A and B are shown apart, each in its own frame.
Chain A
């Protein structure tokens, strides 16, 4: 077992167990904290798969922004009665669907011959990623910033509707 394998299995254990924790913990704030742990585990995978920039982005956006947004959302929508809101009545059906999906996906993954490891990949520097992003993907990149702008304005308009009407 190489070091990379040990790290991989530890990360896999961490992120999957944390994801199961999101499901099983009744308190939704604790579930949010488990979600952050799971997302940080995925950031570890990115480092292991030689995508340092994405790991950085993952920690910044998910560990910082999305986590804050979710925790604020939980606070603003009444933290007191939330622990009582457990899984809904349709959870057996949801378990059936996701169980079927995981069986399907695992069968597909394990029965397919994937291309072998491309060897030691040369590390892609952030400079290269940036220049590719701004040369070949310039238009999608600008559209993404437009999407962010629209989402930001939309979020402000939606959540401040009541003050405007009254």
Chain B
């Protein structure tokens, strides 16, 4: 029988991989991929808790996950628009070379 631990372990693995992608990729869109993966593992944890923990209102975990997905979609749209705008301005979206604010 699968239990809460199983789900949490998978969530932890996915979150760490997503963090590594977000920190190590030089392509700005690649960084976005890592963030999407992290948000997904958070959702997985929320659903796991909603499924396995006895609660007076068991449906709230799913509602929370719906909101996370909504915000993630909005974030993806804005991030891609920013990437396109930066590419027009600097002809690159290599985040290591976007160091205007660095001194």
Residues of A within 8 A of B (CB): 2, 4-5, 8, 12, 15-16, 19-20, 22-23, 28, 31-32, 35, 38-39, 42, 45-46, 48-51, 53-54, 57-58, 61-62, 65-66, 69-70, 72-74, 76-78, 82, 85-91, 93-95, 97-99, 101-102, 105-106, 109-110, 114-118, 121, 124, 128-129, 132-133, 137, 140, 144, 147-148, 150-152, 154-156, 158-159, 161-162
Give residues in B with beta carbon < 8 Å to A.
1-10, 12-21, 23-30, 32-34, 36-37, 40-41, 43-44, 47-48, 50-54, 57-60, 62-63, 65-67, 69-78, 80-85, 87-88, 91-96
A31 vs B51: C-alpha distance when bound (angstroms): 31
Structural contact, B66 and A16, CB atoms closer than 8 A: no
| Closest chain B CB from A54 CB (angstroms) | 6
A54, A72, A93 — most chain B CB neighbours (10 Å): A54
Tell whether A76 pairs with B73 under 8 Å between CB atoms, given A22-B21, A95-B24, A132-B59: no
- Residues in A whose Cβ lies below 8 Å from that of B43: 42, 54
Can you list 16 contacts pairing A with B, beta carbon distance less than 8 Å?
A4-B1, A19-B13, A22-B17, A46-B47, A70-B80, A85-B27, A88-B25, A101-B15, A101-B16, A101-B19, A102-B12, A105-B15, A109-B5, A124-B62, A129-B63, A148-B74
A89 vs B99: C-alpha distance when bound (angstroms): 14
Least distance between B14 CB and chain A CB atoms (Å): 6
Using known A-B contacts A35-B36, A58-B69, A105-B15, determine if residue A94 contacts B62 with beta carbons closer than 8 Å: no
**Inter-chain contact B17/A66, CB cutoff 8 Å:** no
Contacts of A58 in B (CB 8 A): 69
CB–CB B84/A49 < 8 A: no
| Nearest B residue (CB) for A58 | B69
- Of B16, B32, B50, B72, which is in contact with the most chain A CB atoms at under 10 Å from its CB? B16
Measured between beta carbons, the chain B residues less than 8 angstroms from A93 are 23
**Complex CA distance for A28 and B32, rounded to whole angstroms:** 12
When distances are taken between beta carbons in the complex, the residues of chain B under 8 Å from A82 are 27
